[in-house]
């Protein structure tokens, strides 16, 4: 997509887009969604996708609970799936006769597209308050962040202002890998434990990304395939089933209104 020119944009649902003033209603200009502009950069910060245009503006895409991006070759487009709210027609660089359809699909509409006018606007308004990147977190930094809170370590990991990029599945998997009980107060985590947890977060995310994530219900990769990480889950979704290490049944607890699954023998 990088280097491709956006030839057109179709808006089927206006309210999944928040304009540069954060409004979900009112007139939306298709050049704000990138029409006639070149895609300069595609990136990620925490759980949000970031697409920058050649005029310095761009958009943040949040998938929420059920959102996804689909990419289809321009010559083999399938019928529009339900809940397809936005479609971009993107030229393929160096192939003037070819194009890609990129669509934003979101049945439950907790996700959305957020427009920004400049990188600074994006950073100051849309990405403000995000903690450091989970994919590169180091033990000392994680220890400092957890040391400031008495909240359960699981609740702190889910808080995007503490650490950006960990959701419920990967918090449970990383805590299990590190041998830490999810209800432990953040400030009770020792320096060696924080080092273990940071390494577990990085490796859990790396392996999950390589596997395409975890398809539970709605998550589908841009090419339509499913994420295979669910087959590697040690704890998430396995409450009551035996722990793979000690064979004791896995326990379930509610922490920060989310289900936590863990082994009370292996996780202290
Ligand atoms: Zn166990």
pLDDT category of residue 126 using cuts at 50, 70 and 90:
very high
Residue 109 has pLDDT above 80, yes or no: yes
User: DSSP secondary structure string, 191-257?
Assistant: HHHHHHHHHHHHHHHHHHHHTT-B-SSS---TTSPPPBGGGG-SSTT-TTSBPTTT-PBPEEEEETT
Ligand 1 center–CA 213 separation, angstroms:
24
Q: How many angstroms from the chain centroid is the CA of residue 103? A: 17
- Helix 191-210 × helix 139-147 angle, to 10°: 110
Mean pLDDT of 28-55: 94
pTM of the complete model: 0.91
Task: Report whether pLDDT(200) > 90.
Answer: yes
Within 8-133, where are the H helices?
119-121
- CA–CA gap between residue 45 and residue 114 (Å, rounded): 14
Å from CA of 192 to ligand 1 middle? 20
As a whole number, mean pLDDT of residues 154-162 equals 97
State the distance from the centre of ligand 1 to the C-alpha of 203, rounded, in angstroms: 19
CB contact set of 176 (below 8 Å; sequence gap of 6+): 234, 235, 262, 263, 266, 267
221-231 pLDDT per residue, tens: 788 787 877 77
> How far is 55 from 63, CA to CA, in rounded Å?
24
Q: 188 CA to middle of ligand 1, Å? A: 21
Length of the chain: 268
Residue 70's pLDDT is 92
* pLDDT on residue 215: 73
The packing angle between helices 191-210 and 168-178, to 10°, is: 130
- Collapsing DSSP to helix, strand or coil, 147 comes out as helix
Domains annotated for the chain, with CATH where assigned, are 6-126 (3.20.190.10), 134-262 (1.10.8.50)
- 176 CA distance to ligand 1 middle (Å): 9
| Confidence class for position 218, pLDDT limits 50, 70, 90 | low
Across the chain, what does the average pLDDT equal? 94
- As a whole-number percent, the residues of the chain with pLDDT over 70 amount to 99
Tell me the CA–centroid distance for residue 73 and ligand 1, in Å.
46
Å from CA of 241 to ligand 1 middle:
11
Smallest Cα–Cα separation from 113: which of 28, 46, 37, 54? 28
pLDDT for 77 equals: 67
- The tens digit of pLDDT for each residue in 242-255 reads 999 999 999 999 99
pLDDT in tens, 43-88: 999 999 999 999 999 999 999 888 999 999 998 767 888 999 999 9
């Amino acid at each position: 997509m990088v280097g491709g020119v956006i030839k057109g944009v179709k808006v089927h649902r206006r309210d999944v887009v928040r304009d540069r003033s954060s409004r979900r209603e009112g007139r939306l200009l298709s050049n704000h969604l990138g029409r006639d502009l070149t895609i300069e950069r595609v990136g990620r910060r925490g759980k949000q996708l970031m697409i920058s245009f050649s005029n310095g503006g761009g958009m943040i895409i949040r998938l929420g609970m059920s959102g996804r991006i689909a990419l289809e070759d321009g010559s083999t487009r399938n019928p529009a799936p339900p809940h397809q709210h936005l479609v971009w027609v993107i030229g393929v660089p160096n192939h003037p006769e070819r194009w890609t359809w990129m669509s934003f699909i979101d049945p439950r509409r907790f996700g959305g597209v957020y427009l920004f006018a400049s990188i600074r606007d994006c950073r100051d308004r849309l990405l403000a308050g995000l903690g450091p990147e989970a994919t590169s977190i180091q033990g000392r930094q994680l220890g400092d962040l957890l040391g400031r809170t008495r909240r359960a370590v699981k609740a702190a990991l889910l808080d995007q202002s503490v650490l950006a990029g960990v959701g419920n599945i990967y918090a449970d998997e990383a805590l299990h890998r590190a041998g830490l009980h999810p209800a432990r107060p953040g400030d009770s985590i020792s320096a060696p434990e924080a080092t273990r947890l940071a390494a577990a977060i990085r490796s859990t995310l790396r392996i999950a990304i390589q596997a395409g994530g975890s398809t539970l219900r709605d998550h589908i990769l841009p090419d339509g395939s499913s994420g295979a990480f669910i087959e590697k889950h040690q704890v998430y979704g396995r409450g009551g089933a035996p722990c793979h290490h000690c064979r004791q049944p896995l326990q379930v607890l509610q922490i920060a209104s989310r289900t936590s699954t863990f082994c009370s023998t292996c996780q202290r």
